[in-house]
Amino acid sequence: MKKIFLFLGLSIFSIQLLAQTTWSADPMHSSVNFTIKHMGISFVTGKFDQFRGTLETSKADFSDAKIHFTVATASINTGVAPRDKHLKTADFFEVEKFPEMKFVSTGFQKKTGNRYALKGNLTIKDVTKPVVLEAIYGGKTKNQMGKEVIGFQTSLKINRFDYHILFDPTGQAVARDVEVRIYLELQPQQ
């Protein structure tokens, strides 16, 4: 009898391990974008060209999801080379010293419909702070190569001063708050 229970226990554990799926962000169909107010009258937009992210889950509703996401700070791109060069200095991202921004989830809770509360720790430069984002599940389908893919989008507003991005401490020329929008298409990791 003990052998049967042991066998059943190991079988259930093995099935759970096999059901674990790791999804990876597809950089060709994903983006990390930001908007910040300039001079109090207009907006500057930009993106980060290099990033990687994974979502690990064994449940169809993603309630046990673990998310790890990193962004290469040197890949900042506003479409204006002199501005991008300045954003890489100690006034902003200090990319030589802090080559990555990082997000690690601490919770993923289904709200209503396709909306989730995504909790985690965001690290920019030498500061890590807890954040809560709303994530919207776009659904699951197969891409043109027949591979299963899922989509998510999320956004958050951060106070750049909280992360030691202190250029223009008055916030008059470059605003304090930055709007970040992330669009992800993920596929199972091979």
**Domain with 130 in it: what CATH number?**
2.40.128.110
Q: Is residue 16 part of a domain?
A: no
Q: What local confidence, expressed as pLDDT, does residue 12 receive?
A: 46
Q: What local confidence, expressed as pLDDT, does residue 61 receive?
A: 86
pTM: 0.86
Please write down the long-range contacts of 129-134, taking CB distance under 8 Å and 24 or more positions apart. Answer: 129/162, 129/163, 130/106, 131/103, 131/156, 131/158
Cα–Cα distance between 181 and 130 in angstroms, integer?
A: 17
HSE-up of residue 149 (Cα within 13 Å, Cβ side): 18
- Residue 96: CB atoms within 10 A of its CB come to 11
Q: Is residue 8 part of a domain?
A: no
Q: Is residue 140 part of a domain?
A: yes
Residue 40 structural domain: 21-188
Q: What local confidence, expressed as pLDDT, does residue 8 receive?
A: 44
HSE-up of residue 12 (Cα within 13 Å, Cβ side): 5
Q: Is residue 3 part of a domain?
A: no
Our count of domains for the chain comes to: 1
Cα–Cα distance between 159 and 24 in angstroms, integer?
A: 28
Q: Is residue 47 part of a domain?
A: yes
Q: pLDDT tens track of the chain, all 190 residues?
A: 555 444 445 444 444 444 689 999 999 999 999 999 999 999 999 999 999 999 999 998 898 999 999 999 999 999 999 999 999 999 999 999 999 999 999 999 999 999 999 999 999 999 999 999 999 999 999 988 888 999 999 999 999 999 999 999 999 999 999 999 999 999 998 7
Q: Is residue 4 part of a domain?
A: no
Cα–Cα distance between 92 and 169 in angstroms, integer?
A: 12
Q: Is residue 11 part of a domain?
A: no
Q: Is residue 13 part of a domain?
A: no
